[in-house]
Amino acid sequence: MMSQPPDPTSYPPVADAYARPLKSLRLSVTDRCNLRCNYCMPEEEYGWLPRDTILSFEEITALTGLFTELGVDKVRLTGGEPLLRRDLHSLIRMLRRNPLIQELALTTNGLLLPEQAPALKEAGLDRITVSLDTLRPDRFKALTRRDGHEKVLEGIEATRSAGFTGLKLDTVAIRGFNDDELIDLIEYGKRVSAEVRFIEYMDVGGATGWSMAKVLSRDAMLEAVGRWYGGVEPLHEQSSAPAQRYRLADGTTIGIIASTTAPFCATCDRSRLTADGLWYLCLYGKEGIDLREPLRRGVSPLEMKSLIKIGWQRRRDRGAEERKALERLGLREEQLIEIRQLRLDPHLEMHARGG
């Protein structure tokens, strides 16, 4: 008799202390990156996670399997730059065998997509999000301290040629840097059949140069976009996705992720596993739960699952809301993590824990 795939509904998600389900898992597959975006990796030198601590594809797949049996059904590969992890397509193929994963996605800076897009598609990746902050090569270079803008645009084309649909372009909107490009980016998105999502600049991890003055708020974005297109209306969707979506008067849809001015912690079902197996329950979380150590010690799958379950059930994180509360007291900018501290614990960096 053929064995039936497990019924996803047979694994009701575990809920945290605020009844938020464990649903979405971001896997940071490497802490390394081929860019140095100044809102993420502003330093010249970085200490990398030791190689022998990096989880193998087998370990990532095994851990992800346990997470899916506790409710996770969306998995996103991120980093660092995930396409720097050698043979990433093999990991995708391994994860794809898990029928409980309803959506397998990737966030990338796009540089290596021209070579890798066909293999990613063939391995079974569902969707790609490319980070694209500017259409101007000179600005790209100033922001990332590297060349390669053309490659990113080529990468976007390559996803289309490889047959990916539902492409998203994520733009961190920064006042005084790319606030004059919102319309150009939306128009570019239309040309390449991609939905553009603007992310408010966040005071996370390595964003040591962050200040409230550089945050282009959702309200300011809507005002600028609405003025140009002659109207913008919110779409009413039932979703725990971080982006609020809007329809412009010409029918185009865009998303805005207002993590800084209008946090959505109340519905947050996301957690992150670093490349070396630390599990973070919040983007702003100071400490992760070490899953690598018990996994390598040979702890049984049942015990591992219990560790994950208890971890999630105790979760009370509302990092972005707490920052917002401090902002009202005028204390937000004092919360930025100092370089000294980032050097002591690289896991505090966004590029280590995955955006």
Which residues are at the interface with ligand SAM (CB under 6 A)? 33, 39-40, 78-79, 81, 107-109, 131, 170, 172, 199, 201-202, 204, 207, 350-351, 354-355
Query: How does DSSP classify residue 53?
Result: G
- CB 144 to ligand SF4: min, Å: 6
Tokens of 123: 């391995």
AA identity, residue 227: R
CB of residue 242 to ligand SF4, shortest distance in Å: 7
The CB-of-263 to ligand SF4 minimum distance in angstroms stands at 6
Question: CB under 5 to 8 A by kind: which of ligand SF4, ligand SAM, none does 270 bind?
Answer: ligand SF4
Q: Which is nearer to ligand SAM, 46 or 228 (CB)?
A: 46
State the minimum distance, in angstroms, from the CB of residue 350 to ligand SAM.
4
Q: Map tokens 């079902």 to a residue.
A: 269
Separation between Cα atoms, residue 205 and residue 288, nearest integer Å: 14
Q: Which does 20 bind (CB under 5 to 8 A by kind): ligand SF4, ligand SAM, none?
A: none
Distance CA 187, CA 189 (A): 5
Q: Which is nearer to ligand SF4, 69 or 317 (CB)?
A: 317
In the complex with ligand SF4, which residue's Cβ is closer, 232 or 350? 350
- Based on CB atoms, which residue is closest to ligand SAM, 67 or 201? 201
Six-digit token pair at 178?
């790319």
Cα separation, 229 vs 136, whole angstroms: 22
DSSP 331-348: -GGGGSPPHHHHHH-GGG
The binder of 22, among ligand SF4, ligand SAM, none, by C-beta within 5 to 8 A per type, is none
Give the separation between CA 236 and CA 25, rounded to whole angstroms: 24
Residue number with CB closer to ligand SAM (33 or 281): 33
Structure tokens, 227: 């003025």
Q: Which of ligand SAM, ligand SF4, none binds 83 (CB below 5-8 Å, type-dependent)? A: none
Task: Give least dist CB 139 to ligand SAM, A.
Answer: 14
CA nearest to 260, candidates 307, 330, 325, 329: 325
Residue 271 contacts residue 281 (beta carbons within 8 Å): yes
- Minimum gap (Å) between residue 299 Cβ and ligand SF4: 26
For the record, the structure tokens of 101 come out as 């994963």
Q: What is the 3-state secondary structure (H, E, C) of 123-151?
A: HCCCEEEEECCCCCHHHHHHHHCCCCHHH
**Which residues in this chain contact ligand SF4 in the complex, by CB under 6 A?**
33, 35-37, 40-41, 79-81, 109, 131, 263-265, 268, 270, 282-284, 317-320, 351
Q: Which of residues 69 and 181 has its CB atom nearest to ligand SAM in the complex? A: 181
